[in-house]
């Protein structure tokens, strides 16, 4: 479905995907480099996320997010870096403590648009660009952004989260592997 500078290419699998991808493309076209900033006046920003598999591929690394108080994939804000793949990898390193993480594919695994409730900033949208990665070296260590980290066996993820976007990423990861 085309490539977006700073994000990459994504192949929509259904109408939800196509609609999200179209909205992301429109947002980046309208905002340019500001789409990758944290400017609260434009209503949202691009974020980069990583679904990190264990070296053997049997588990996924989830973080118990401190602010949102739920188990999610690793990821965060671009903070002016107009490269969502790089940001997803950087956030995976920062939030996991792992020493080496590899991209499974350069292709975008999944996209999601979700609202972040008002707090220090007004309510805004995260246009989340998600990549599949695999841990290669290192032990996990909880960062300041998390309450906890866990290697969750793939068949037990629903015991940690029922967040539809996390479960969708997991289904897509299985298709890629």
Look up the CATH number of domain 3-176: 3.90.79.10
CA distance 145 to 142: 8
CA distance 162 to 158: 5
pLDDT at 2: 54
- List strand residue ranges (DSSP E) for 21-58, in order: 44-53
| The model's pTM | 0.94
| Tens-place pLDDT, residues 104-133 | 999 999 999 999 888 888 999 999 999 999
| Tens-place pLDDT, residues 50-64 | 999 999 999 999 999
pLDDT at 41: 85
CB atoms near residue 63 (< 10 Å): 25
H or E segment at 62? Answer: strand 59-65
CA distance 42 to 163: 26
Q: For the chain, which residues score pLDDT lower than 70? A: 1-3
Domain boundaries, the chain: 3-176
């Amino acid at each position: 479905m085309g490539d977006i500078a700073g994000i990459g290419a994504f192949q929509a699998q259904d109408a939800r995907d196509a609609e999200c991808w179209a909205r992301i493309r429109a947002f980046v076209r309208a905002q340019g480099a500001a789409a990758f900033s944290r400017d609260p006046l434009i209503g949202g920003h691009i974020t980069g996320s990583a679904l990190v598999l264990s070296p053997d591929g049997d588990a996924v690394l989830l973080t118990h997010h401190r602010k949102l108080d739920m188990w999610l994939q690793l990821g965060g804000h671009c903070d002016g870096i107009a490269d969502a793949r790089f940001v997803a990898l950087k956030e995976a390193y920062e939030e996991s403590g792992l020493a080496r993480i590899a991209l499974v594919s350069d292709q975008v695994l999944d996209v999601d648009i979700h609202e972040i409730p008002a707090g220090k900033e007004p309510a805004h949208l995260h246009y989340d660009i998600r990549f599949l990665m695999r841990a290669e070296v290192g032990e996990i260590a909880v960062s300041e952004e998390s309450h906890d980290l866990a290697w969750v066996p793939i068949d037990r993820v629903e015991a940690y989260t029922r967040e539809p976007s996390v479960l969708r990423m997991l289904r897509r990861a299985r298709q890629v592997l």
